[in-house]
Amino acid sequence: MTRFAFRFLAAVLALAAAAASAHAAQPATVRVDYAHSGNALNEHYALARVVIEPLPWPGNTARQLDATDRGQNRVEVVDAKTGDLLYSRGFSTIFGEWRTTDEANKISRSFEESVRFPKPDRPVRVRILKRDERNGFSVAWSVDVDTEAQDVVKQQPALPAKPIPIHVSGPSPDKVDLLIMGDGYTAADMKKFEADARRLTRHLFTVSPFRERAKDFNVWALAVPTGESGISRPSTGVHHASPLGTRYDIFGSERYVLTLDNRALREIAQHAPYEFIEILVNNETYGGGGIFGQFSTAAAGNAWANYLFVHEFGHHFAGLADEYYTSPVAYAAASTRVEPWEPNVTALRDAASIKWKRHVKAGTPLPTPWPKAEYEEASRAYQKKRAALRAANRPESEMNALFREDLRATEALFAGKPHRHDVGAFEGANYEASGYYRPTMQCLMFDRSEAFCPVCQDGITDIIDLYAGPARQ
């Protein structure tokens, strides 16, 4: 071990000792695994098991209740006798996305899901709430949980891998704990995985507001080796076994990367402190994905890995919506324009009370004009080229070059236009050309540009505050 590595490990161990001392009363971590099934018209829940995870609860027990109003769902843990609310968090699910696809109109499917919370000192009722068309929550399912019951899983096998400290700022209960997981990395690729995790972590903390709040984060890395490098990409006939089961082509979208094996994910992740997860896949092909409160993914070997890592983390961490609308997606268009819960898109039903009103300068028109027709004309040509490159299975370097060309063209089109740097309501967002509006002309959630708009930054800051409190001075 080098002298630097020894000093770093010693510092991490000292932080761990401080954490144990300062948070000696940290409760255990409870995980409830359940099945979520159904189709476009109905859904069902069924308990799978209750698990006591190996590590203590990583969160601050003084910040148990979530007031951010994010997510399609919410978990609530209440006292079984009194009904007092003990813990809550918003989240979304893969099932919730899948049921908006065409397939959900034809068949039923089941997805694994989990919710985690600090171990209570009494029997509780765990409630899963679902958002309705008025953005209110109602109980979709509940189950009574006694963590002292005989069928609770309290001992599990050790993991044949150890978490690597990437960026450690202090005791977990005082910080946001991000776990970077690897999939598609062989034993020989482990140094590459660590290098990828460090590289992308460094980039994350160059992007505001993560840059200003870096001291409020701990970042860990963990990967179980695979037999082959890379993950499955079924559309090209590539099928690789991997511990997390991450793959391309989710819901028929060639660039959408997720794992549908939630149990495998949780059983590996539980061996590191975490509140958020980003999975790095050892592939060069462009792709990623992100589900609020679940996890995000990014192709670590792609030339656009920095963008993918941050953009997809924006979905997972803060529930940010996609602001683009010209790329093909698997989801069917909604028949109505309901006000989205995501903080960075709006149906603009009441311009006078737009959700990001504090950022809108007096005199800014709502909706806000922008070169929409010209952008869409250029985008149609770009998307045609993109589809042709994928259909011909051309080298990834050609796709990367096309992305650079598209970004340059967009920036040239927007340059010097009125309201170029204003916050307003720009029509075209949330995968829809009309009826939904984004805050700015350009943002990291709109295209492959490098910065979040002020509204997205607010949305991210709200979540950092939920876990780590106000910024340290």
Mean pLDDT score, 191-214: 98
pLDDT for 6: 41
136 with 170, same domain: the answer is no
Q: In the predicted model, is pLDDT for residue 4 greater than 60?
A: no
150 located within any domain: no
Give the pLDDT of residue 16: 45
The DSSP letter of residue 90 is E
φ, ψ of residue 467 in degrees (nearest 5): -100, -35
Alpha-helical runs (H) found in 23-112: 94-98
Mean local confidence (pLDDT), 118-137: 95
Domain assignment present for 170: yes
Q: Place 328 in a pLDDT band, splitting at 50, 70 and 90.
A: confident
- Is 11's pLDDT higher than 50? no
CA distance 461 to 311: 15
Cβ neighbors of 158 (< 8 A, separation 6 or more) are 271
d(CA 3, CA 244): 34
Residue 153, in any domain of the structure: no
In a domain, 383, yes or no: yes
Q: Write out the DSSP string of 207-225.
A: STTTTTTGGGEEEEEEE--
> Domain tally for the chain?
3
Q: Which of the 8 DSSP states describes residue 334?
A: P
Q: Is the pLDDT of residue 105 over 80?
A: yes
Say if CB 372 and CB 428 are below 8 A apart: yes
Residue whose pair of structure tokens reads 């299975």 in the numeric block: 393
| d(C-alpha 50, C-alpha 389), whole Å | 47
CA distances from 159 to 13, 238, 302 (A): 20, 27, 29
Closest CA to 225 of 282, 156, 297, 300: 282
Residues 203 and 72 both lie in one domain: no
In this prediction, residue 1 carries a pLDDT of 42
Task: Tell me the per-residue pLDDT of 375-390, one tens digit each, with 9 for 90 and over.
Answer: 999 999 999 999 999 9
Rounded to 10 deg, the angle between the 305-318 and 190-204 helix axes is 70
> How would you classify residue 327: left for phi > 0, otherwise alpha for psi between -120 and 50, otherwise beta?
beta
| Band of residue 133 on the pLDDT scale cut at 50, 70, 90 | confident
The verdict on 179 and 260 lying in the same domain is: yes
CA torsion, ordered 225, 228, 232, 238, to nearest 10 deg:
180
Is residue 121 located within the same domain as residue 176?
no
Looking up residue 105, the CATH number of its domain turns out to be 2.60.40.3250
Question: Has residue 387 been placed in a domain?
Answer: yes
For residue 116, give the amino acid letter. Answer: R
- Specify the pairing of strand 217-223 against strand 164-167: antiparallel
Identify whether 455 is part of a domain.
no
- Tell me what pLDDT residue 337 has: 80
Query: Averaged over 201-229, what is the pLDDT?
Result: 98
Tokens describing residue 460: 């991210």
Q: Are residues 57 and 172 both part of a single domain?
A: no
Residue 2 has pLDDT above 80, yes or no: no
141 lies in the same domain as 195: no
Domain final position from 91, 111, 145 = 145
Query: Considering only CA atoms, which of 208, 221, 223 is closest in space to residue 168?
Result: 221
Q: What is the pLDDT of residues 107-126, one digit of tens each?
A: 999 999 999 999 999 999 99
Tell me the average pLDDT of the chain: 93
- According to the model, what pLDDT value does residue 14 have? 45
Classify residue 18: in a domain, yes or no.
no
At 105 the three-state DSSP class reads helix
Q: What is the DSSP letter of 125?
A: E
Domain with 266 in it: what CATH number?
3.40.390.10
Contact predicate 62/113, CB 8 Å:
no
Mean pLDDT of the 359-367 span: 97
45 and 171 housed in the same domain:
no
Q: What percent of the chain has pLDDT over 90?
A: 89
Structure tokens at 432: 């829809």
Cα four-point dihedral sign 458, 460, 463, 465: negative
Calculated CA dihedral for residues 426, 431, 436, 439, nearest 10 degrees:
-40
Whether pLDDT at 28 is above 60: yes
State residue 469's pLDDT score. Answer: 81
Confidence check: pLDDT of 18 > 80:
no
Dist CA 337 CA 349 (whole Å): 9
Whether residue 138 sits in one domain with residue 180: no
Q: Which domain holds residue 425?
A: 357-448
Is residue 444 domain-resident?
Answer: yes
- The reported pLDDT for the residue numbered 5 is 44
In the chain, what percentage of residues exceed pLDDT 70? 93
The pLDDT of residue 332: 62
Does residue 183 carry a pLDDT above 70?
A: yes
Question: Domain check: are 291 and 436 in the same one?
Answer: no
Residue 3 pLDDT more than 50? no
Compute CA distances 130 → 46, 133, 242, 316, whole Å: 16, 10, 32, 18
> Can you give the pTM of this predicted structure?
0.93
- Check whether 347 has a pLDDT greater than 70: yes
Which of 93-97, 153-157, 316-320 is the least confident region?
153-157
Contact in structure between 115 and 53 (CB atoms under 8 Å): no
What pLDDT does 396 receive? 96
Q: What is the pLDDT of residue 31?
A: 98
